[in-house]
Structure 1
Amino acid sequence: MSFLRGVSSVVLAAAMAVGGTGCIKKALLDGQIKGTRDGSAAVNTLHDWETARTVAQAGIGQLEGMHLLAPQNTDALFLLTRAWAGLSFGFIEDDFEVAYEAGKDLDAAYHQRRTRAGFDRAIFYGVELLSHTADGFEDARRNADTIRSWLVSNFTEVEQAEDLLWVGFAWIGRVSAAKDDAALVGELYVGVEIIKRSIELDERVQHGTGHTILGAYHARTAQAELDDSKKHFDRALEINEGKLLSTKLNYATRYYCAKRDKANHDKLLHEVLAAEDPLPEARLPNVISKRRARRYLGHKIWQENCGFGS
């Protein structure tokens, strides 16, 4: 295994002499996985979408290998949850949007299935991650009250907020990619409750992303809870000072779309495009937001559900 290269034969011989090779290997592997998690934030500073896509796709394979070697390592489970959720949203879903806008129905359907499958995999690892804190997820997901009770009883540490954020993000993302699946849509509340618990523990994780997600959720239709949507979007903007552009992107395409307010919809999207480099540590998420803002302004197909001018 590559992570053992360079270890001196003297050290290995000594380890074998005391019968501790298994512990040494595990310690080395756990250390590598922790280092990978600690260093993974660097990817978010990338400025080029194409390069980031290549990095994300290549990185998935490495993370899967780490998990195979250390199936109980929670850092690996977290990284896989986040990586599959991020890849599905940032890149695979982008393939769907390109095909959909071009009217390539077969390609769009294919990439939609890929998006759902990516979120499925993120959820698989995410649920496994949560199980290292508490058993009983399958029983708890019966309804909103039971999942809420389970989350509040078992997830009480600030450090758990980020785990919950990515699991909830993946759950809601899968529903978005499979809107025709009534069973999945009927379990949207699971992802919503997970995100709610995340922001209760630490609302500032990922620059207030939990509030942005709930803002989008509460504006899912024109008949939804638009006052709640606005409160969450405004709180996210307070936290990130408008520097995390996904907040403005979703504020425009969710809330102002539902309100049929084209002026503010376009205004926020133009603000996204005009932003230079407001948050270097979230440069890649902002690149993705700019890419989508340009797309949503440039083709009327993305505004059909907004009812502008009707």
Structure 2
Amino acid sequence: MATRMSLIQTGFMRWVGTVGMVVLLAGCAGMVTQRMGATLSSAILNQDDPETVRAGAPAYLLLIDGLIADDPQDKNMLLAGARLYGAYAAVFVDDGERALRMAKKARDYARRGLCADYPQVCKVESAPYDQFVPSLHEVQVEGLDALYVYGSAWAGRIQADSSDWAAIADLPKVEAVMRRVVAMDPEYDNGRAQLYLAVLNTLVPPSVGGRPEVGRGFFEKAIAVSQGKDLMAKVEFARRYARMVFDRELHDRLLHEVVTAEVHVPGLVLSNVLAQQEARKLLASSAEYFME
């Protein structure tokens, strides 16, 4: 069990936050707030200097907290807060206790954002898996954004405290959430829901329940949806699948494609820059990992 816990922790660190860095702040109450949200979202997503985001985002976390305190029922702002808190905690916060506090806040905001319209989901989220999954079918297309943020924040909460076995036991429920998202829209969020499913199926080896070939299928779908422009999908394909099955040819090909790719894709710049950083690290350790 300890080995599996370590593998899961390694699998989720940074990845959850990087995937969740697509911060959508549009739809806030009031025209001025709505315009600010859209502008902030664009500025973060298209920033090619991660350190600028690290330094500047905390001010907006406080701003979002204030806006939510002013209108605790604003679903759009709750979801925006969940995205930004979850992503920032996983990508930019090195202190474990602080990251956990922020992940818990993201989870709380996400639950409130979804369960305002779909309270039945939250009522059974602690119930056995077979009772929880049917509730997800109550969520229709109009609740797609809220459901995706709910699943993402839940995953982030798990990765922030992967020593919590009770939290780890909820991973199948997180997968069920993402499967529902994909069922409603396979191309949602540039295929990021597909990417969640890919990673969830390749967190651990087959000997302890992993399903690498299922994961490969989801990786390939995620890459196809973004037309290869979402570089993080290729990085995780190399890291989670190619390394697990010891396929160095696939591993190095994917990573070389990432480091030579154009990062300035609208809405994916920050994620792509982070992906290139990770790709270079993985390539540097490739020979040692594959022992060739």
Shift of 1:79: 0.7
Higher Cα Rg, which structure: 1
Are positions 1:248 and 2:234 aligned together? yes
Q: Distance in 2 between matches of 1:58 and 1:48?
A: 17
Q: Distance in 2 between matches of 1:308 and 1:216?
A: 21
Q: Which amino acid aligns with 1:31?
A: M
Shift of 1:309: 3.3
Q: Which residue of 2 aligns with 1:24?
A: none
5+ residue gaps, structure 2, are 1-27
Determine which of 106, 110, 117 is the counterpart of 2:101: 117
Normalized per residue, the structure richer in helix is: 1
Q: Distance in 2 between matches of 1:254 and 1:216?
A: 7
Q: Which residue of 2 aligns with 1:34?
A: 34
Residues 207-222 of structure 1 correspond to what in structure 2 (within 5 A)? Answer: 207-222=190-205
Shift of 1:275: 1.1
Are positions 1:271 and 2:231 aligned together? no
Are positions 1:185 and 2:168 aligned together? yes
Identity %: 24
What SS is found at the alignment partner of 1:275? coil
Residues 141-180 of structure 1 correspond to what in structure 2 (within 5 A)? Answer: 141-153=126-138, 155-157=139-141, 159-180=142-163
* Corresponding pairs, count: 260
Q: Which amino acid aligns with 1:232?
A: F
Q: Which residue of 2 aligns with 1:236?
A: 222
- Larger relative contact order, structure 1 or 2 (CA cutoff 8 Å, min sep 6): 2
Q: Distance in 2 between matches of 1:233 and 1:29?
A: 36
Shift of 1:299: 5.0
Shift of 1:29: 5.4
Shift of 1:145: 2.3
Q: Is the 8 A contact 1:85 1:166 kept in 2?
A: no
Q: Which residue of 1 aligns with 2:66?
A: 65
Q: Distance in 2 between matches of 1:71 and 1:145?
A: 32
Change in CA separation of 1:32 and 1:141 when aligned onto 2, cut-off 3 Å: farther
Are positions 1:308 and 2:290 aligned together? yes
Change in CA separation of 1:278 and 1:48 when aligned onto 2, cut-off 3 Å: closer
Shift of 1:143: 2.5
TM-score by length of 2: 0.81
Shift of 1:129: 0.6
Q: Distance in 1 between matches of 2:159 and 2:253?
A: 25
Shift of 1:62: 0.7
Q: Distance in 1 between matches of 2:48 and 2:248?
A: 30
Change in CA separation of 1:165 and 1:40 when aligned onto 2, cut-off 3 Å: farther
The root-mean-square deviation of aligned C-alpha atoms, in Å, is 2.3
Shift of 1:140: 3.6
5+ residue gaps, structure 1, are 1-27, 96-110
Q: Distance in 2 between matches of 1:216 and 1:144?
A: 20
Q: Distance in 1 between matches of 2:131 and 2:173?
A: 10
Shift of 1:278: 5.2
Q: Is the 8 A contact 1:273 1:293 kept in 2?
A: yes
Shift of 1:35: 2.9
Q: Distance in 1 between matches of 2:32 and 2:78?
A: 14
Q: Distance in 2 between matches of 1:297 and 1:204?
A: 29
Shift of 1:272: 1.4
